[in-house]
Amino acid sequence: MSSDQSRWRVRRFDEDHFEHPRSEAELVALIQRARAEHAQLRVRGSAHSVAAAVYTDAFDPETGPHQHGAPVINVMLDKYRKLTFFETAGVHYVTVEAGRNLGSDPYGPGHTPGDDEGLVHALAARGLALPVLGGISHQTLSGFLSTGSAGASVQHGFHQAITAIRILDGLGNAHDLTPADPEFAHVGVSLGLLGILSSVTLRLEPEYVIRGWTSVQRAADCEIDLFGDGDATRPSLRAFFETTPYARLLYWPQKGVDRVEIWTATREPKAPGWKPKPYRQFTTAPFLMQWFVRFLYTRVLPRIDLVPGDADAAMAEAWLRDTINEGFADSGLGAPTLTGPMVDPMIDALSEALAEMDDGVDSVKEILVREIIRVVIALSPKHAGKYKRAPFTDTWYEGLPHDNQMDDQLMPILFTELWVPLTRTAEVMRALRDFWSAGGLDATGTFATEIYAAPASPFTLSAAQGTPVLRVDPFVFWREDATPELDYFPAYWELLKAFDARFHWGKTLSAPGSSTGVAHRRDKCGAVAWDAWKAQRAAWDPDGVFMNAYWRAHLGLP
């Protein structure tokens, strides 16, 4: 496992090592016990964040405390999931106990939530909806909120739907807060450090469906002006995000690939007789395709540096065949026949590309990477000079979290995510373009960078506090020896620091003492607001019940 940034093993756990309270009274009792025992107490949601951010110190979710009897209490709220619906002046609301998952969690505790036991399913059964969801929906409501997560929309914000928060502080006292209360801004994104969220009340909307399209296009002739200010024929990327209800891009910036997948949707009322036609990330054999992509990224591409520098086309093709065979053997599987719809096109395209290689312009390594990635992300065809759009329509709760289709076990991904003011979109995109062009594979990596947006947030520690943002999220496939926090992400942190970047708290953070560490975080939050949040934390948790070493370091707390 790669330092404290790994998210891969964080989803594995033994329920017996956790407390499972069923009521607020039991939550208060756990807080009082932690105080009496001078113990740390942390609450696990769906564990979508990095492991060290989730749990107490000296604790492994699979094996328990590092030492028997260690003063640590780790909590799951899987038994604390009640929903209370009510209506006021024709507006519907729901008060949600903090353990309720937004959607289904396939790797959660026990058998809940099942396929129809998430918050979204309860809302849909009543003809109601939330304004937005994130790219996945297996998080608990409290975890989604506490880490400052958001959906892919500028027009629709999750935080704007929150009308009340009930939190239990480090003394066991309950606080009921609304947007009118000064503490509300500090509690909304609190990292589990101000107390245990007990419940959240949300303003609901009538149920809607989404209708949209996807298209994979070359960056050079994309229908969005990715790097400029737009014109009469193409919107700027900023305008695209501001005027499109829901949108995200997956950018593959590698030399010779340079493709972007556009996903965009609007909402409309659910009409009688409406039928879904969902967006599919993997249209054929999803399980097999995800397994194959993982195989390429964990068994083939990491070995790309083993290709001899003077390799010719025949040597490179032989290397690829041998590497695939070795990868299968390492996985405990027999060697493949190297035939079929996935492997053959890659081998054929590679052979053709190598035969046409322009010495001094392309390298064998670049061509190998390019052709392997092109298997993963194929261009949309063109008609009359325009890229085709693949249409879809879906329920709001299935269509908005489109990354639910990616299995955490089959597609283990490590993230960092930087949020910059949306007003700086064009200059940020130009900086990324130049960075990728100059840095080659060291800068682009071999996977994608997600680019999307979020609205302004009212919460102090939100990376979108006070302003809508552009979000830049480079991906790395997890491997046992992967250390992107040391050898890949820092270049992005340094690049985007100049554009007032702030970090998503639930994803990989820079080292506390680095140029983008604690001092940078305080500066971009605003010293007055940052210090006010810290003062609130100290007042509500004077014994440090909720504090662990990870957050003490990353927030510069005593």
* Range 268-273 contact pairs with CB under 8 angstroms and sequence separation of 24 or more: 268/208, 268/209, 268/210, 268/211, 269/206, 269/208, 269/209, 270/207, 270/208, 270/209, 270/395
CB 50 within 8 A of CB 7: yes
Q: What pLDDT score does 405 carry?
A: 56
Q: What pLDDT score does 5 carry?
A: 41
Three-class SS state of 476: strand
Q: What pLDDT score does 69 carry?
A: 85
Three-class SS state of 395: strand
Sign of the four-CA dihedral 453, 458, 460, 466: positive
Q: What pLDDT score does 253 carry?
A: 95
Give pTM, 2 decimals.
0.89
CB 439 within 8 A of CB 389: no
Tokens 């991906």 — which residue? 475
Q: What pLDDT score does 284 carry?
A: 55
Distance from C-alpha of 77 to C-alpha of 98, rounded to nearest angstrom: 7
Q: Which residues contact 230 (CB under 8 A, 6 or more apart)?
A: 236, 239
Retrieve residue 344's tokens.
């053959």
DSSP 48-102: -S-HHHHSPSSEETTTEESSTT-SEEEEE-TT---EEEEEETTEEEEEEETT-BS
CB 394 within 8 A of CB 209: yes
CB 529 within 8 A of CB 457: no
Amino acid identity of residue 343, one-letter, is V
CA distances from 405 to 120, 372, 410, 448 (A): 16, 22, 11, 17
Q: What is the CA radius of gyration of the chain?
A: 24
Q: What is the chain's length?
A: 558
- Along the chain (558 residues), what's the average pLDDT of each consecutive run of 10 residues? 40 88 98 98 90 94 90 96 97 97 79 68 96 88 95 97 99 98 98 98 98 97 97 97 98 93 96 89 58 71 72 74 76 61 65 61 72 84 96 95 65 88 98 95 89 98 98 86 90 98 96 98 97 98 97 95
CB 134 within 8 A of CB 151: yes
Q: What pLDDT score does 9 carry?
A: 43
CB 397 within 8 A of CB 137: yes
Three-class SS state of 289: helix
Measure CA 237 to chain center: 21
The three-point CA angle 97-101-104 to 5° equals: 150
Distance from C-alpha of 492 to C-alpha of 511, rounded to nearest angstrom: 13
Say how many C-beta atoms besides its own lie within 10 A of residue 100's C-beta: 24
